[in-house]
Amino acid sequence: MMRTVRRLTTTSVVGGVVAAALVAVSPTAAAAPDTTPVTQNINHGYTCQGIEWESIATFPTTPTYNDGQPVAGMINTTAGRQTTVTYPREIAPGGQFSVYVQSGTWTASGEEMGRAKFDIALPANATVRGVANVGGGSGWTSGNPQPRVERVGSDGNPNASGQFVRIWGGASVNNGGNEDTNTPKGGVYSVRNGTFRFPRVRIDLTAPTTAGEQIAVGLRGAGAGPERNGVNNALSFALDKRDGIGGFDNFNNDDYWCTTPANTSSLTSTRVIGTPVTQLTTTNLEIETGTVDTELTARVTSNAAQPSPIDEGEVEFFVNGVSIGRQPVQDGVATTTHTFPPLDDREPVTYDVTARYLGVTNKFEQSEDSATTATVNPGPKAEVTSTVALTAERGRVEDGRLPVELAMEIETSDGLDLPAGSQVEIRRDGEVIATVPVDGITASYTDSVPTDVDEDVTYTYTATLLENETYDTIYQASEPSNEVEITVAPEYTPDLTVAAEPATLLVGRTADLSATLTHDGEALPAGTEVTFRVNGRDVGTATTDAAGTAVLTGHEFRTAGEKTIVAHFDGATVRGVTYLPVTSAPTTATVQPLPGVDTRTVIDVTTEVTAGDEVTMTAHVSRADGTPLTADEAAERGSVWFFDGADAIGSAPVTIDPAAGEARAVFVHRFAETGEHRITAEYSGTRTADEVLAPSETDEATVVTVTPTEVVIDDPRPPTPP
């Protein structure tokens, strides 16, 4: 059987959700990733290391403040140990989104705070389109610079491509800008016992096109631990002593560097999840009944800017909603086979076939194509070809029309009769004139054409078997048959006369019957056949000569009486001219009976004979008046039977004795018994060409005496010696 294969093609949007479809062309988007922003308060502490001056005469100490401990009264509120973030959990490959980050609220108890900076680490796998201060900050001294947001490099200096977002006033302790560890009032500044908060930052990002990637925004230096004079930290600042050191304000101030736990490297987590597109099928899957293992192939590709094959996950195939198995995706393709149930009859059965890509967690969504209709069709029907042979016969013209009897014989390639419903289309001169049924392998039709024409008209006929289809066989239309032509010529009724010569004759004699066939005084072409009829019976045919005369010679009349003689012409088309049938006026021939003649028979035989001897008996036949039958009448004279008493002893033909000139019959006989024998003869009679001779017999019996044969016995004794 023919193997039917139909591929399933799948394509998905940027990054990962895959669509599976069967020979599909019309994309339909699946559900998009959930980009709804979520807001979270991330609780975390700060671990800080500082430089603290107790007096101008002593070196500073470098205490470490662990998470939860106040830093010289600086970070001592729960609100300060929170970072608030807003971000979407999912984004489409290449999609644009924004992340919002804002630090907690702090209180500088008993101190003044300045040179503060707050660094946020940007994701390396996303494109940063921009950063912005969207407000919400508070507690900053108005006489000092207000917080601003800009990208900085690892050196802390502004850098449009920097990997950090910084909130500051342009001055830091030791990481960019106006660096100074002894002047706390630089940059952003908060008064003693002031409560302050950095403003909210918006980070505009474009996701990568690779599905499954995680985009994280965190705090700089998360998990690294604090370091004196370090730069890899989220927060650094300076505290101004209440009264200064040694009476000098803004001198020998305390500086601090603070980091956060490792988990704050991902304050946000946005997963790149592709949006699937499913191709809809526009062509149906056609399967021949009995096909084993029809191959179903799902082509799985990412729908990125440049789609590429997916090489993970599985595709599950369904027929009428029932799973027929899962297959792994390898190099963008998943393939399975399915054997559809064979048909019970020739009625096609349809099935809904779908392919569903099952997705990959945190990378590819599920995707399913629209149902494709798979149709199981009956196997191809047997095909039978045919040829048509056409013949045509002219009928007899009636009422000015010529019947044309068409016969069609059809030869089929399988040698069998055509089924019921088969038809032949008949064309005359290219135009359809009839469609007739076929009976087995034959068909017939009688057309009718006018005969009243002034010149020759030729009609061309063809026949074509029309296509017919049964449950399991297609009977293909045939080519047109051979062409058959029928020519109708102008019609004329000829003149026909008949004669018999002689017109009076005896029974058994012959006469010549003649007929002359003409039209407008001109003989019809030679060779035209004429039929002669005597008393309504056809007695023979003859063809005309150049003069238009046909002669039936030597017709014998075998019975007496008046004979009615006619000539008949059946009609014919001769040299393009049609001559209609015609019968001549009758003529009469008189046939007379032959005259009858009485005969006389005389027997001549030896009256004394010996038993066993040959005896010749001669019967003489003559006319009743004794005149002989003449020699010229001697062809056939009948016969004579000879009788011995009541017993016939033999016969002999009557012939003419040339010498004597008489008719006689000679018979030779041997008498076995002695005594008197009464011999008679009987003549049969006959008919000659001129007369009828009547039978006759001898007037009386001739007595023949048969004596015994004399036997002589010699002396039996031996002769006497001399």
List the domain boundaries for the chain.
5-29+276-377, 37-272, 383-488, 492-592, 596-707
Q: Are 205 and 128 in contact (CB under 8 A)?
A: yes
The predicted pLDDT at position 667 comes to 95
Q: Does 638 or 4 have the greater pLDDT score? A: 638
CATH topology of domain 492-592: Immunoglobulin-like (2.60.40)
Q: Does 69 or 358 have the greater pLDDT score? A: 358
Buried b (16+ CB within 10 A) or exposed e, 482-499: eebebebbbbeebebebb
Q: What is the CATH number of domain 596-707?
A: 2.60.40.1930
CB atoms within 10 A of CB 27: 17
Q: Does 719 or 436 have the greater pLDDT score? A: 436
- Tell which residue, 56, 58, 76, 59, has the closest CA to residue 67: 76
CA distance 150 to 152: 6
Structure tokens belonging to residue 671: 């008498």
pLDDT tens digits along 264-296: 999 999 999 876 544 433 345 888 888 888 888
Specify the length of the chain in residues: 722
Buried b (16+ CB within 10 A) or exposed e, 199-234: bbbbbebebbbbbbbebbbbbbbbebebeeebbbbb
Single-letter residue type at 644: D
Helices (H) and strands (E) in the chain, counts: 0, 69
**Residues 121-127: what's their mean pLDDT?**
96
CA distance 425 to 480: 9
pLDDT tens digits along 138-179: 989 888 899 999 999 999 999 999 999 999 999 999 998 888
The predicted pLDDT at position 478 comes to 96
Q: Are 596 and 560 in contact (CB under 8 A)?
A: no
The predicted pLDDT at position 161 comes to 95
pLDDT tens digits along 511-559: 999 999 999 899 999 999 999 999 999 999 999 999 999 999 999 998 8
Q: Are 642 and 668 in contact (CB under 8 A)?
A: no
- Tell which residue, 93, 38, 27, has the closest CA to residue 364: 93
The predicted pLDDT at position 24 comes to 35
Q: Which CATH class name applies to 5-29+276-377?
A: mainly beta
In this prediction, what percent of the chain has a pLDDT beyond 70? 85
- Cis? peptide before 37, omega within 30° of 0: no
- Cis? peptide before 502, omega within 30° of 0: yes
**Residues 99-115: what's their mean pLDDT?**
85
Q: Are 22 and 286 in contact (CB under 8 A)?
A: no
Domains 5-29+276-377 and 596-707 share a fold: yes
pLDDT at 71 over 70: no
pLDDT tens digits along 351-391: 998 888 888 888 888 888 777 888 999 888 899 999 999 99
CB atoms within 10 A of CB 679: 22
pLDDT band of 68, cuts 50, 70, 90: low
In this prediction, what percent of the chain has a pLDDT beyond 90? 53
Strand partners, 271: 90, 214
pLDDT tens digits along 560-587: 899 999 999 999 877 767 788 999 999 9
The predicted pLDDT at position 379 comes to 87
The predicted pLDDT at position 192 comes to 79
| Dihedral of alpha carbons 385, 391, 392, 393, sign | negative
Architecture of domain 383-488: Sandwich (2.60)
Phi, psi of 419 (to 5 degrees): -75, 165
pLDDT band of 66, cuts 50, 70, 90: low
pLDDT tens digits along 703-720: 999 999 876 666 666 666
pLDDT at 136 over 90: yes
CA distance 640 to 72: 185
pLDDT tens digits along 439-496: 999 999 999 999 888 888 999 999 999 999 998 899 999 999 999 999 887 878 899 9
Structure tokens belonging to residue 643: 């009788």
CA distance 593 to 589: 13
Q: How many CA atoms lie within 13 A of 636 on its CB side?
A: 8
The predicted pLDDT at position 54 comes to 56
CA distance 1 to 379: 9
pLDDT tens digits along 302-327: 766 567 788 888 999 999 999 999 99
The predicted pLDDT at position 569 comes to 96
